[in-house]
Amino acid sequence: MNEILTIAEETLVLHRHPRIKNETLQAWDSADEYLINYFNENQLAKHLNDDGQLLLINDGFGALSCYFQTFNRTVISDSYLSLNSIKLNMQRNNCPEDNILLQDSLQEFPRNVQVVLIKVPKTLSHLEYTLQQLSKVISKETIIVAAGKVNMIHSSTLQLFETYIGSTKTSLAKKKSRLIFSLVDQVDIPEKEIPLTWEIEKQGWKIHNHANVFSRNHLDIGGRFLMDNLPEGDFSKVVDLGCGNGVVGMAASEAYPKAQITFIDESYMAIDSARINMLKNLPEEQTEHARFVVNNGLVGFKAGCYDLILCNPPFHQQQAITDQIAWSMFNDARFCLVEGGELVIVGNRHLDYKDKLERIFGNCELVTENKKFVILRAVKEY
């Protein structure tokens, strides 16, 4: 795996985070390279004065933040992992920290923006939210360039730029990536509520979903399966690990009304959605025992603190398919469980989670299954 990015007279050492042994994926892609080269070849630095800022949106692991280290810049991401990776890679490359502001996607966008570089996010809803917020802080002089893999840029992608920014065109493809250029000339910008709300009839809950929440348009069928098959027991400290909009943790709160429920996700939008949903749908005596944590899984949590961890593990990190997140979640879960504590997960049948759990816990029980999913249970033993 290549850790050295040499581009436009700069050399950077960049790592993906969390770091794993035998990593096969690098911490930047051709879209990062395309943006950097375009910025230099077209002298976009001349549009940045002392009072203005460079705005970087969805920088994955810090390639853009580190390369543009001499400019005053704000970096916006919904990912805790991305923001943490940026910090670590800046330290690795001795980048100054006094000219950069890192913020999550739910914070207000800066208003003194002169050049904007965007990595196109995975979902259209996340892109629409980003462009909607961006449209509020730009002027006709703002330079806006986006980049993404060719297979992520469709007519619907370009239409969103047209709707919220203005006249839009694309570049030729290079190394399977493409640039998007938008001129700020749109005056009739729609006032649209991008968060979605829908109801879970069985519980009578109205579920709020920010733009970048997993399965934001409907109840995830894997999550539903886990909600319907929660373990019986007198649990007091429960974790909804990778909580998304929080519905599994909310079901746990109803099943174990005296338990403290901790919701954990690396998406700021997910955690805010889970918080809203818990407060709006469950009684105060249950919500007052809830905790909401933006974090890389259970990293940094104390050993032997929880007696039940519930998880619907993701198998993507940004655009990459990987089982490393599941591995990390399972290992950290074992560390954080009390003796006799349980990890209960739901996963697609084709994913080899049973073997992983047996290797980590020394045991794994098939609780139930259907045509698409399995629910597995592992117990921490000594």
* pLDDT tens per residue across span 49-93: 878 899 999 999 999 999 999 999 999 999 999 999 999 999 999
Do both 348 and 210 map to the same domain?
yes
Does 189 reside within a domain?
A: no
Do both 232 and 128 map to the same domain?
no
Do both 238 and 352 map to the same domain?
yes
Residue 114 φ/ψ, nearest 5 degrees: -115, -35
CA distances from 63 to 130, 219, 240 (A): 20, 35, 32
Do both 232 and 361 map to the same domain?
yes
Cα gap 197→207, rounded to integer Å = 5
Whole-number average pLDDT of the chain: 94
- pLDDT score for 317: 45
Where does a domain end: 122, 153, 182?
182
Do both 98 and 234 map to the same domain?
no
- pLDDT score for 20: 74
Does 62 reside within a domain?
A: yes
Domain count, the chain: 2
Do both 172 and 268 map to the same domain?
no
Does 275 reside within a domain?
A: yes
The encoded tokens of residue 221 equal 């069928």
Q: What is the pLDDT of residues 295-346, one digit of tens each?
A: 999 999 999 999 999 999 886 444 444 567 888 899 999 999 999 999 999 9
Q: What is the pLDDT of residues 87-128, one digit of tens each?
A: 999 999 999 999 999 999 999 999 989 999 999 999 999 999
- pLDDT score for 22: 73
Does 104 reside within a domain?
A: yes
- pLDDT score for 323: 65
Q: What is the C-alpha radius of gyration for the chain, rounded to an integer number of angstroms?
A: 22
Do both 162 and 206 map to the same domain?
no
Cα gap 290→362, rounded to integer Å = 31
Do both 165 and 227 map to the same domain?
no
Q: What is the pLDDT of residues 133-185, one digit of tens each?
A: 999 999 999 999 999 999 999 999 999 999 999 999 999 999 999 999 999 99
Start-end of H helices in the chain: 30-41, 63-67, 80-92, 124-135, 155-164, 221-227, 247-255, 268-281, 284-287, 324-336, 353-361
- For residue 266, pLDDT over 90 is answered with yes
Do both 200 and 172 map to the same domain?
no
Q: What is the pLDDT of residues 203-232, one digit of tens each?
A: 999 999 999 999 889 999 999 999 999 999
In this prediction, residue 277 has a pLDDT band, given cuts at 50, 70 and 90, of very high
Do both 176 and 203 map to the same domain?
no
Do both 233 and 284 map to the same domain?
yes
Where does a domain end: 141, 159, 182?
182
Cα gap 241→6, rounded to integer Å = 38
Please report, for the domain that includes residue 116, its CATH number. Answer: 3.40.50.150
Does 191 reside within a domain?
A: no
- For residue 21, pLDDT over 50 is answered with yes
Does 281 reside within a domain?
A: yes
Do both 169 and 202 map to the same domain?
no
Q: What percent of the chain has pLDDT over 70?
A: 97
Nearest to 212 by CA among 225, 224, 198, 196: 196
Does 66 reside within a domain?
A: yes
Nearest to 312 by CA among 283, 351, 277: 351
Does 187 reside within a domain?
A: no
- pLDDT score for 361: 97
- Parent domain of 42: 4-182
Q: What is the pLDDT of residues 311-324, one digit of tens each?
A: 998 864 444 445 67
Label residue 174 exposed, middle or buried (CB < 10 Å: 0-12, 13-18, 19+): middle
Average pLDDT over residues 348-374: 93
Where does a domain end: 152, 182, 212?
182
